Amino acid sequence: MANLVNGYRRPARWLHWIIAALVLLMIPAGLIMVQKGLPRPVQDTLFVFHKNTGVILFFLIAARLIYRLRHKPPPLPDTMPEWQKRAAGIAHFALYALMVIMPVSGYIRVRADRFPIEGLDALGIGTWLPKSPELAAVAQSIHVTCAFILIGLIAVHIAATLQHALFYKDGIWSRIWPPNG
């Protein structure tokens, strides 16, 4: 079917793909760095990457949310059943919620235990939280639980995209790809 659907604006596309690429690097980095028996330099490098990229992601996600609140996305095609539109809305809302929960819980987990975040430390940005191993433990369990929910949702999200791109051919893919479109 011809692509008659308008796409997302360029900033929304760029933000989607930059954040997607970084999140898809953060997940394996996080999963690998907590494995026992890793050589110390590998583990340290992954932790430094994970914590600092996570902080950068927080700001990218904040920018994306602000942009999203100011720019409603184009309507979905009429050919899409109502239940699918609703499911997409719920899934996207959950992805946004998890994109906020992950960096915030990671930050609290690290800072409440007084661990470094090298980039912020270099900029002289102090720790805004009291030292609290209890708070760190709560944040850790939120971070780990939500990581697995996020992994599941991303898998469904990618599967749904493939279905639209390969079977329905309803123009959903070209709403967001290419980034410069």
- Residues lying near ligand HEM in the complex (CB under 6 A) are found at 16, 20, 23-24, 26-27, 30-31, 34, 50-51, 54-55, 57, 68, 73, 88, 92, 95-96, 99, 102-103, 106-107, 109-110, 117, 140, 143-144, 147, 150, 154, 157-158, 161, 172-173, 175-176
Q: State which residue, 95 or 135, has the beta carbon closest to ligand HEM.
A: 95
Nearer to ligand HEM, 41 or 96 (CB): 96
Q: Which amino acid is at 7?
A: G
Min dist CB 46 to ligand HEM, Å, is 10
Specify the residue, 27 or 70, whose C-beta has the smaller distance to ligand HEM: 27
Min. distance of Cβ 113 from ligand HEM in angstroms? 8
Task: Give the nearest distance from C-beta 90 to ligand HEM in angstroms.
Answer: 11
Cα(129)–Cα(113) distance, rounded to whole angstroms? 9
The DSSP result for the chain, as a single string, is ---------HHHHHHHHHHHHHHHHHHHHHHHHTSTT--HHHHHHHHHHHHHHHHHHHHHHHHHHHHHHHSPPPPPPTTS-HHHHHHHHHHHHHHHHHHHHHHHHHHHHHHTTT---HHHHHTT----S---HHHHHHHHHHHHHHHHHHHHHHHHHHHHHHHIIIII--SSHHHH-STT-
By beta-carbon proximity to ligand HEM, the closer residue of 41 and 138 is 138
CB of 135 to ligand HEM, least distance (A): 13
- In whole angstroms, the minimum distance from the beta carbon of 157 to ligand HEM comes to 5
Token duo for residue 177: 């790809």
Residue (27 or 135) nearer to ligand HEM, CB = 27
